[in-house]
Chain A
Amino acid sequence: MSKRDEVGRLYNGKTGQWMWVAHRLTGVAIILFLFAHVVDTAVIGWGPEAYNRVMEAYANPIVRTLELVLVAAVLFHAINGVKIMLIDFWPRAALIHKKLSLATIIIFVVVMAPITLLIGKSIIESI
């Protein structure tokens, strides 16, 4: 087994490894969006006309769908982050890490369901 394979299998697990992959992917997505988001917010310094034009550019079904994805990414990263800290600071939590991952997914789905309905409804109505 090459070193590269070992790194790819660092967690050598099923649930835990996929949660780890998802944590990285959502984290990268959020920081890349943040770079763009600071720039779009900075336009507010050029007054109402300029800023509202930026907000209008965002107000289409494609960007609104990305908005939903972003909200999901932040919430997943946050809830899974709590799970990571539980395991880090309370060693016994590692024994039930699969249950904690399942709980993370359940909480995420429960929180995302109404949010998806709310933003989804707003997108459909805007078309």
Chain B
Amino acid sequence: MSAESGSTSQRATLDKRGITTPSVRPRPSQGFELWWWLFMRISGLLLLFLAVGHVLIMHVLDGGIERVDYEFVASRWQMPFWRTWDWLLLSLALVHGTNGLRVIIQDYVRKPQARFLLNWFFYIVTFIIFALGTVVVFTFDYSKYLGG
């Protein structure tokens, strides 16, 4: 919380090298928020490949979404590579997105109870979706519906 207070009055700062930095949300200096700040950038870099790759493969290249059906997904998930890709994408995107929601809620929801409830609503939804997605990615059985 302390990292937030007093920051809004800061309009332009001069760093150690004398470079003027236009007013931006200050980088959290330590603790919980610093780790989340770092996580957003590291996961963002990974998602740059995982999410953009996923979108291009599924929606743009080689006929796009029109060629995506049961057969397409099933044969893709024959390969552990794509199951791993999809699970990594699921996990990172969920945590990255839910933390993003937390930061936005912190900015716009002022009542402590409402903030608490909204945050926990999204944490629970995220957990359920993560559990569902994980089960689906790892337990999908192609042979179950062969010839059925």
- Using a CB–CB cutoff of 8 Å, the interface residues on chain A facing chain B are 3, 6-7, 10-13, 16, 24, 27-28, 30-31, 34-35, 38-39, 41-42, 44-45, 47-48, 51-52, 55, 58-59, 64, 67, 70-71, 74-75, 78, 81-82, 84-85, 87-88, 91-92, 94-95, 97, 115, 118-119, 122, 126
User: Which residues of B are found within 8 Å of A126, using beta-carbon distances?
Assistant: 66
**Contact partner, A31, options B15, B25, B59, B100, Cβ 8 Å:** B100
Q: Does B32 contact A (CB under 8 A)?
A: no
B132 near A38 with CB under 8 A, answer yes
Q: Does B68 contact A (CB under 8 A)?
A: yes
A81 near B44 with CB under 8 A, answer yes
B19 near A27 with CB under 8 A, answer no
Chain B 111-141 interface mask (CB, 8 Å, partner A; 1/0): 0000000000000010001001101100110
A41 near B133 with CB under 8 A, answer yes
Bound together, the chains give a CA A6 to CA B19 distance in angstroms of 25
Other A-B pairs beyond A7-B107, A94-B24, A119-B59, 6, CB < 8 Å: A27-B104, A30-B97, A44-B136, A91-B17, A94-B22, A95-B19
Q: Name 17 interchain pairs, CB-CB below 8 A, sorted by A.
A: A3-B8, A7-B8, A11-B23, A12-B23, A28-B101, A31-B100, A34-B129, A44-B74, A47-B144, A48-B70, A52-B70, A67-B59, A70-B59, A78-B47, A81-B48, A85-B44, A118-B60
Bound together, the chains give a CA A91 to CA B26 distance in angstroms of 12
B100 near A28 with CB under 8 A, answer yes
Count A/B pairs, Cβ under 8 Å: 131
Majority secondary structure, B binding face: helix
Interface bracket on B: 35 or more
B104 near A24 with CB under 8 A, answer yes
B100 near A27 with CB under 8 A, answer yes
User: Which residues of B are found within 8 Å of A34, using beta-carbon distances?
Assistant: 93-94, 97, 129
B:28-79 near A, CB below 8 Å? 41, 44-45, 47-48, 51-52, 55, 59-60, 64-66, 68-71, 73-74
Task: Give chain A nearest CB distance to B3 CB in angstroms.
Answer: 14
A71 near B55 with CB under 8 A, answer yes
Given A10-B25, A38-B90, A91-B21, the answer on whether A45 and B140 have CB atoms closer than 8 Å is: yes
User: Which residues of A are found within 8 Å of B51, using beta-carbon distances?
Assistant: 74, 78
User: Which residues of A are found within 8 Å of B139, using beta-carbon distances?
Assistant: 45
Given A12-B11, A81-B44, the answer on whether A28 and B104 have CB atoms closer than 8 Å is: yes
